[in-house]
Amino acid sequence: MERWNDALSYIEENIEGEIDPTALARITLTSEYHFRRVFSALAGMSLSQYIRARRMTLAAAEILDGTGILDVASKYRYTSGDAFSRAFRQMNGMTPSEARRPGAILHSQQALTFHLTIQGRSTMRYRVVDLPELHIVGKTAQIPLKHHGVNPAMTEFHKSLPAGTGERLRKLADIPALPEILFVSTEFDADRADGSLFDYYFAVATSVRHEGWDALAVPASKWVVFEAHSEGNLQPELQQLWADAFSEWFPSNPYQVIPGPEILTVTEHSEDWTTGTGELWIPVERTS
């Protein structure tokens, strides 16, 4: 975790100026794409959210000291006093002027430090697989991201699919390494903020593109595959795979995630989906 804490120090040292995500990636010996994914898992918020909250925390102290709003706005890289006041209200529920009143209660984002701790979770089950160039073929929709719990938009999308869609798709699947039906997520917002939009596919993997379906070409690449098994409620176990992968597995293994679709599969499940086994497929490359 030393390099990740060095990245946090870089943020603090440059909080009033330009914070270059590529510099953060260099410090942690990763790509910018990988850095953003792991940071959000470790911090519980996106990189941009953290930087914005830290700047606003320091700005609030200067507001309380009596520094002019325009001066503070300029110092912390806001283009106008109005833009700064909107951001201030979003974090604190009041304007900078109201914050100066006696008894005003403000919110603070403390500077982060990452620590390696033993969580007590079971060892993660994974394997690494090389897949050839392939096509994701099926039906797609753009839906909002929801990190925890049921995603209503995803549920509505599945309900909207014509009867027999799954059976028709299964006849096209011809990549033996992958299960027949895939739940594919791609084109995420860089920070993957809750509520941001992404492309979701109900699909199969094929060696050729098939007309009449939505399709996504995927280059040949290496994939890490994580397995989840549940005897109680399968859905939260599958969602937990993402959190465990980026907060526990990637910081401890010589791989980094690369841009590409992330594939969820359910290899077996009970009729009510309370028990079963699923897998999360993430495209990766070796770092050393």
pLDDT tens per residue across span 52-85:
999 999 999 999 989 999 999 999 989 899 999 9
Place of tokens 């500077």: 111
The pLDDT confidence band at residue 123, using thresholds 50, 70 and 90, is low
- What percent of the chain lies above the pLDDT cut of 70? 95
CA angle 1, 187, 22 (to 5 degrees): 40
> Domain 126-286 belongs to what topology?
Multidrug-efflux Transporter 1 Regulator Bmrr; Chain A (3.20.80)
Distances in Å between the Cα of 96 and the Cα atoms of 15, 67, 73, 153, 226 are 20, 11, 11, 37, 47
Burial of 10 (0-12, 13-18, 19+ CB in 10 A): middle
Higher-confidence position of 138 and 30: 138
Whether the predicted pLDDT of 169 surpasses 50? yes
Burial of 122 (0-12, 13-18, 19+ CB in 10 A): exposed
Whether the predicted pLDDT of 118 surpasses 50? no
- What's the half-sphere exposure (Cβ side, CA atoms, 13 Å) at 277? 7
Strand-pair category, 197-206 with 276-286: unpaired
Tell me the Cα Rg of the chain: 22
Q: Judge contact between 258 and 283, C-beta under 8 A.
A: yes
Instruction: Tokens for 104, please give them.
Output: 């005003």
Q: What does pLDDT average to over the chain?
A: 88
- What percent of the chain lies above the pLDDT cut of 90? 59
Of 27-36, 119-128, 142-151, 187-196, the range with the highest mean pLDDT is: 27-36
In whole angstroms, give the CA distance from residue 88 to residue 97.
10
Place of tokens 């106008």: 80
This prediction has a pTM of 0.75
The pLDDT confidence band at residue 120, using thresholds 50, 70 and 90, is very low
The pLDDT confidence band at residue 152, using thresholds 50, 70 and 90, is very high
Ramachandran quadrant class, 159 (left: phi over 0; alpha: psi -120 to 50; beta: rest): alpha
In whole angstroms, give the CA distance from residue 268 to residue 53.
43
In whole angstroms, give the CA distance from residue 209 to residue 198.
22
CATH superfamily placement of domain 2-99 = Homeodomain-like (1.10.10.60)
What ranges do the domains of the chain cover?
2-99, 126-286
Strand-pair category, 197-206 with 182-186: antiparallel
Whether the predicted pLDDT of 117 surpasses 60? no
CA angle 100, 104, 108 (to 5 degrees): 95
Higher-confidence position of 32 and 113: 32
In whole angstroms, give the CA distance from residue 285 to residue 258.
7
Residue 40's CB is within 10 A of a number of other CB atoms, namely: 22
